[in-house]
C-alpha cells in the first residue's frame, strides 16, 4: 500500500518526507485555501519535496472549463495528477485526459457504480471517501471492498485511493481489503507509529541501560 499525505501544508510535508514512507500528496481547494497561497505555488513546492503523484483539483464544474484548467495544471510538473469531481462532466473530462495520457484522480466517490464509471474512462485513481460515509452511518469499508471486487473482476487498472481517513484503524482496515493507496492527514500518519507497549518498552530499555552504567 502507498501512503499519500492529504494536506496543502508544506511544513507538514517536509516533516513527513524525512521518514521515507510518503509516496505522494493529495490536495483539494479547501486545503489550498488554508495556505493563503495560489494553487500553482503550493503544488510546485510540493513537487520539489515529494517525488511522487501530487493531486491538484480543478475548480470548474463544466467539461470545457475542467479541460482548460487541467491542461494548464498538467504543465506545472510531470508528477501532477488532475483531480476531477465524480460528475457527468468530470467523468467525460477524465476520458479526454486519459486519451492524452494525463493522470487523473476522480474524487468524491460514494458508490461502487460511480467507481465503475471512473474506471471505464481510464481514471488513474478513484477516491472513495471512507470517513464521510462512516460519519453518516454507512459502512465506508464495504464500499472499498465492493470496488476492489469489481475492479478485480474486470481487470481495471484504476488504483483505489482510500480518502477521508479519520484514524489509524481506517488505515489498517484499508490495508486488509487490498486498497492501493491511503491518503491521510499528518496526525493520522503519526498515529501509525504509536503503541503503548513500544513506548513503555523503550522507556524500560533506556532505564535499564542508565542503571547499568
Q: How confident is the model at residue 209 (pLDDT cuts 50, 70, 90)?
A: confident
- What whole-number distance in Å separates Cα of residue 77 and Cα of residue 75? 6
User: What is the tens place of the pLDDT at every residue in 21-67?
Assistant: 999 999 999 999 999 999 999 999 999 999 999 999 999 999 999 99
- What whole-number distance in Å separates Cα of residue 157 and Cα of residue 123? 8
The residue behind cell 499519500 is 4
- What whole-number distance in Å separates Cα of residue 213 and Cα of residue 193? 30
Task: Provide the percentage of residues in the chain whose pLDDT is more than 70.
Answer: 100
Q: Supply the CATH number for residue 60's domain.
A: 3.20.20.70
Q: How confident is the model at residue 201 (pLDDT cuts 50, 70, 90)?
A: confident
CA 164, distance to chain mean position in Å, is 9
Domain interval for residue 82: 2-211
Per-residue model confidence (pLDDT) at position 182: 98
Per-residue model confidence (pLDDT) at position 88: 98
Q: Which active-site residues does the annotation give?
A: 83
Helix (H, G, I), strand (E, B) or coil at 9: coil
* Domains identified in the chain, total number: 1
User: What is the tens place of the pLDDT at every residue in 121-131?
Assistant: 999 999 999 99
Amino acid at each position: 500500500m502507498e501512503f499519500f499525505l492529504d494536506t496543502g501544508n508544506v511544513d507538514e510535508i517536509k516533516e513527513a518526507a524525512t521518514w521515507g514512507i510518503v509516496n505522494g500528496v493529495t490536495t483539494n481547494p479547501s486545503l489550498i485555501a488554508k495556505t493563503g497561497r495560489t494553487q500553482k505555488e503550493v503544488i510546485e513546492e510540493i513537487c520539489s519535496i515529494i517525488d511522487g503523484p501530487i493531486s491538484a483539483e480543478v475548480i470548474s464544474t463544466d467539461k470545457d472549463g475542467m479541460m482548460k484548467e487541467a491542461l494548464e495544471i498538467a504543465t506545472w510538473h510531470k508528477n501532477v495528477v488532475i483531480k476531477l469531481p465524480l460528475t457527468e462532466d468530470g467523468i467525460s473530462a477524465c476520458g479526454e485526459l486519459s486519451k492524452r495520457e494525463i493522470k487523473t484522480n476522480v474524487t468524491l466517490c460514494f458508490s461502487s457504480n460511480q467507481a465503475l464509471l471512473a474506471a471505464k474512462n481510464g481514471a488513474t485513481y478513484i477516491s472513495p471517501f471512507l470517513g464521510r460515509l462512516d460519519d453518516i452511518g454507512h459502512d465506508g469499508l464495504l464500499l472499498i471492498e465492493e470496488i476492489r471486487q469489481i475492479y478485480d473482476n474486470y481487470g481495471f487498472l484504476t488504483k483505489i485511493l482510500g480518502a477521508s481517513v479519520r484514524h489509524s484503524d481506517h488505515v489498517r482496515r484499508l490495508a486488509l481489503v487490498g486498497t492501493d493507496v491511503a491518503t491521510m492527514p499528518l496526525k493520522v500518519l503519526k498515529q501509525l507509529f504509536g503503541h503503548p507497549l513500544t513506548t513503555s518498552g523503550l522507556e524500560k530499555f533506556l532505564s535499564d541501560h542508565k542503571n547499568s552504567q
